[in-house]
Structure 1
């Protein structure tokens, strides 16, 4: 069956091997011949200008449009005649190039059809067919694309345009060749990110069943080297040389868009493992299996508000891509659920002393705005009989912190959370929860949190209750260590592809359809379903710390 997705392969080829502009023709105004009486615009400063009225749109009635289109074609026929009858070769070539330029850049689709099918247009028929072939590719119409490019070869044999047409046809044929049980992967397997890439590769191999003797699946591997150009070339080789049915990757936010875009261009379904936002918007064959920022935040806010009754939140975030993305999503989710954001404070991702950051968050830094309160509080302290520590006697600590929030969201590492929690305690911030992401799911989180160890809420796909899942035990028996979320997500991607292909998805189109409708698939840690944005919704667990150990939250009945 002809692959309609294979057509996108040619888009990349066209961009690299031809100077012809690829434009959609359906809504383009018809080419009109130049008016004989029109005067050339005046030159100013050596540049030719255009009069304002020449670039303004005009309302033209349908009969006039058709007359103009016909006049344009008559003008084109005249150029063809002059390119043959002109007295010398130089003049003939001038008329010829003028006619080709009009066909390549100025005709709408209806006019191109007329030229391609009209014997009066001579050599221009091949040029019109080539443009129509490009348009068919844009519309993913492989039947007509093949017809037009074949026509170019017949009308202009041996020409550069015929060579390019043959290359496109060859590419279309290559893309249609598929080895249903061969999966490709693009990962960073060299350089500083190689350890992460190797971990993902282990998980994917197990998901495809390659550790099982007699497995019929094959894995074609390409090293992205952490470079987008290398990633793109890797995808192209996987498709053309290995005939893969799908591509898994990439992990890195730097290379993920390149892998997704090239795979979609070639019509090959791809499952990205990166958290990079916007990946699935690249094209209809792009899917993602990753615990995204949106999935984490939705689960965290739902648990905080529905299970713990929280309504008011503060946000303390690092001024980097991770912190900003999570903060925006968290803010929107809280408001969407009827909650409030009462305080927000940012800090440098290189910050180590959070004293002033906490003071700004809790309103003790801006003493001038609370001058009356400061004076009253200072007077009370002076006449108090209670003994005060040296720190409490410091003027900086006269004002009490404003904690008009139930919890503080801190989208940062467990190390940063530990430094922040210590400074919160120092500034007498108490009786609030700290909310975080899966970065907090570490063995030393309780030690880092200090006085807030029993006031943590964070989310992850992995929880202690899942340590004895079949995959996790099998992975540990093979590699002698527990898998991380990277291996787990790669395993699930391989398992999904293996089972869909085994169930009959032998073409890229069919595999794309089945991925799109994936529902309640039994993954390594729970069921997986594809949402409307082609994101695999992963199971997310809300975690806390009890007796120094990470544990799933016990919901009130």
Structure 2
């Protein structure tokens, strides 16, 4: 925010002062016409030509010697600047509404943004005083002192301050908070506050994309933090990265250097996580990232990740197919993207390690619909099968039908596609070409040809993947980052808490809320062990994270390996009729599913 807006808002303040003070209400000409005050006997009267303020001194025009023009008033704020001030006031109102509903973390985030956006303004002062009160309520006098020091008021005479109602209330509120800080048993004093707050154990910096194109992911993560830190004495200092690497790095430096946090949580994206992790390594401050990509932490010794990556999911699916189900001949159709290549590499490496062979690999490109195709879709209301899906399915059908002494039909098809519509296209065309799909665990072959078990990742975790017609996606197995599992206590506890707080279960983005929840619980557990440590908090945080090996929470049980990789089993799901549920062992799946019925010939 430009200094001009602050200056112009102060101009509006002086206009208000004119209504309550006769001195501030006079113009320069009126003050000159007023009788000069009689000097005291032992003092010398100031020269009449000397202005009261250096800013009021102006050159006397040549054509009017001895006459001083009235100073032109500064320009008022523009429409855009007035809109900004109105928005900040509306934000403060919204923060008060959050406090009335008990949502203190959301209110804290708004106050911090207002305080940084327009420092020195009355809106910033109100926000800083609110943050001071909030920190005192959470038994955090160090953060309270830090925000209190930022709550500044205009340097005006006391009689003027008392005359303006808003300034008078702010002044009284500030004095009351000062008395509370001074009365605090271990409140930091003015001289030693920097040294005492140098490495605060109760201040945690949070880097999230709360706005911008990735704002919905950051907002979901914030919900998980709200659940975990509710009722604790930990002070969370939020920073909005907007999904940008440069902003994530800048905010990480600010939180470490200015706010003196001992731990960073977040971000969620690959590039912003890499940028923040480099700052974490440079400053030697511990960091728990919510990103799932291991490459973001390459050669970083100060950060850990707790989410399974797409590669981890692909390896888990390969282990289920090869080691548990005994499927040795595989096929893969993957998207031509960084995500698709990572999933392909991990799946094939794990399957080959377990003794499987790869019959066919097909890359699915991006199709550009022609004008005629779009027009036909508008007329009939059904999208045509994409050329890439048609080509992939035809190649898969040809390979599956080919059987020689050295070549046998594949038994499983891995589809790490991200769009449910593309998955259904491939499966539908493949079935139309005569390839049997394994829609029941007990049906291993059809007329001597092995059925194909469908495997995938989170692209299958969509309601639109359920095929209510031929049920071709029935019995598909896929790995996801998060799913509700009542048999896991931590997972079930998180889902119930989320349901009670927000009125619904976590949806498709629930993995981000669950990951933030686990990161917060992990931070709280480590914080409890640091209270008896004699080391500086930042050093103790680093040592505790480096020694950490097991994580249990809403995302399941995970083991952190020394090379930075995660070991464990992600959530495995399956399709049954019109439902998506947790996948059971093969013997149980065959027992609980209805007996497969023979399909009628058409």
* TM-score class normalised by the smaller sequence: 0.5 to 0.7
Q: 1:405 aligns with which of 406, 410, 416?
A: 410
- Partners of 1:280 and 1:533 within 8 A in 2: no
- Is 1:180 equivalent to 2:197 in the alignment? no
| Cα deviation digits, residues 60-111 of structure 1 (max 9, x gap) | xxxxxxxxxxxxxxxxxxxxxxxxxxxxxxxxxxxxxxxxxxxxxxxxxxxx
Shift of 1:174: 8.9
| Cα deviation digits, residues 441-461 of structure 1 (max 9, x gap) | 233332289542224111124
Which residue of structure 2 aligns with residue 489 of structure 1? Answer: 515
Query: TM-score, normalization: structure 1?
Result: 0.58
Shift of 1:526: 3.3
Counterpart-to-counterpart distance in 2, 1:532 and 1:313: 31
> Higher relative contact order at CA 8 Å, sep ≥6: structure 1 or structure 2?
1
- Partners of 2:207 and 2:239 within 8 A in 1: yes
Aligned in 2, Cα 1:490/1:536: closer, same or farther, shift over 3 Å?
Answer: farther
Gaps of 5+ in 2: 1-193, 369-385, 437-450, 588-602
Aligned in 2, Cα 1:461/1:193: closer, same or farther, shift over 3 Å?
Answer: closer
- Is 1:193 equivalent to 2:219 in the alignment? no
Q: 1:202 aligns with which of 218, 223, 228?
A: 223
Query: TM-score, normalization: structure 2?
Result: 0.54
Which residue of structure 1 aligns with residue 495 of structure 2? Answer: 472
| Cα deviation digits, residues 517-537 of structure 1 (max 9, x gap) | 324443124333322233454
**1:379-418 to 2 correspondences below 5 Å:** 404-413=409-418, 414-418=420-424
- Partners of 1:269 and 1:512 within 8 A in 2: yes
**1:297-446 to 2 correspondences below 5 Å:** 297-350=314-367, 352-353=386-387, 354-363=389-398, 404-413=409-418, 414-430=420-436, 431-446=451-466
Number of residue pairs the alignment of both structures matches = 348
Which residue of structure 2 aligns with residue 258 of structure 1? Answer: 275
Which residue of structure 2 aligns with residue 123 of structure 1? Answer: none
Counterpart-to-counterpart distance in 2, 1:539 and 1:273: 18
Q: How large is the Cα RMSD of the aligned pairs? A: 2.8
Extract structure 1 runs of 4+ deviating beyond 6 A: 173-176
- Partners of 1:260 and 1:282 within 8 A in 2: no
Counterpart-to-counterpart distance in 2, 1:174 and 1:419: 63
- Partners of 2:468 and 2:578 within 8 A in 1: no
- Partners of 2:475 and 2:576 within 8 A in 1: no
**1:515-526 to 2 correspondences below 5 Å:** 515-526=545-556
- Partners of 2:393 and 2:427 within 8 A in 1: no
Counterpart-to-counterpart distance in 2, 1:533 and 1:514: 17
- Partners of 1:175 and 1:243 within 8 A in 2: no
Aligned in 2, Cα 1:508/1:535: closer, same or farther, shift over 3 Å?
Answer: farther
Shift of 1:260: 1.0
| Cα deviation digits, residues 275-303 of structure 1 (max 9, x gap) | 23412223110211212123212211111
Shift of 1:488: 0.1
Q: 2:474 aligns with which of 443, 454, 466?
A: 454
Gaps of 5+ in 1: 1-172, 374-401
Q: Secondary structure at the match of 1:465?
A: coil
